[in-house]
Structure 1
């Protein structure tokens, strides 16, 4: 599991990104469970995620942040990255971010992809 903590913050909300290998839904669930063993991530407002399986099956989860999983999935498709789950975590800071939240998800995924050289 690779984690980039405190990737960015905006109006009190903080973001982090994590990722790792996942070849099916069971491995995604195991990854999320392992991530949430860290109490900080378990208490996060949102843990949005996506993975593009090698057979082309897209899986995603918004965890209450409508549309965020699709943003991650589109980036994985553009990169051609299969069997690798990426999770963007948000701790809500009390102010709505509107459409900026999608830009922040993209920034987190880009930071992860650049750091992981995947």
Structure 2
């Protein structure tokens, strides 16, 4: 079992709720294990989107989970912060109203909150 850092719901926008989670990871298998562990909590398993990015020794990985472009937002912030061997997952529960471009700002806000929490400047 991996040491997840789960900040829970950190912001809301027009009914949508955002949470952020992260953990050390050095392989795709470890990323998959972190995602599986996160989704053992029913609310995360039922979330609209669990977008993520990871920078591993083998390279960068990302997944949008239906939130087109969100994985790249997380990945770029991780690259700028120099955070490697780690995965960050931004979870969204859709609140009924489309956010347009603001959804990227919320993903940035969630990622920044995680980076701040672990003491890495973004």
TMscore range, shorter length? over 0.9
Report the alpha carbon displacement of residue 6 of structure 1 after superposing the two structures with TM. 1.4
Count of residues paired in the alignment = 117
Matches within 5 A, 1:1-118: 1-55=4-58, 57-118=59-120
Runs of at least 4 residues of structure 1 off by over 2 A?
A: none
Query: Any idea what SS the aligned residue of 1:108 has?
Result: helix
Determine if contact 2:27/2:57 at 8 Å carries over to the other structure.
no
Distance in structure 1 (CA, Å) of the matches to 2:64 and 2:86: 17
Query: Any idea what SS the aligned residue of 2:71 has?
Result: helix
Query: Any idea what SS the aligned residue of 2:83 has?
Result: coil
Q: Which runs of 5+ in 1 are unaligned?
A: none
Distance in structure 1 (CA, Å) of the matches to 2:92 and 2:28: 22
Q: Which runs of 5+ in 2 are unaligned?
A: none
Q: Please, what TM-score do these two structures have when normalized by structure 2? A: 0.94
- Aligned alpha-carbon RMSD (Å): 0.7
Q: Please, what TM-score do these two structures have when normalized by structure 1? A: 0.97
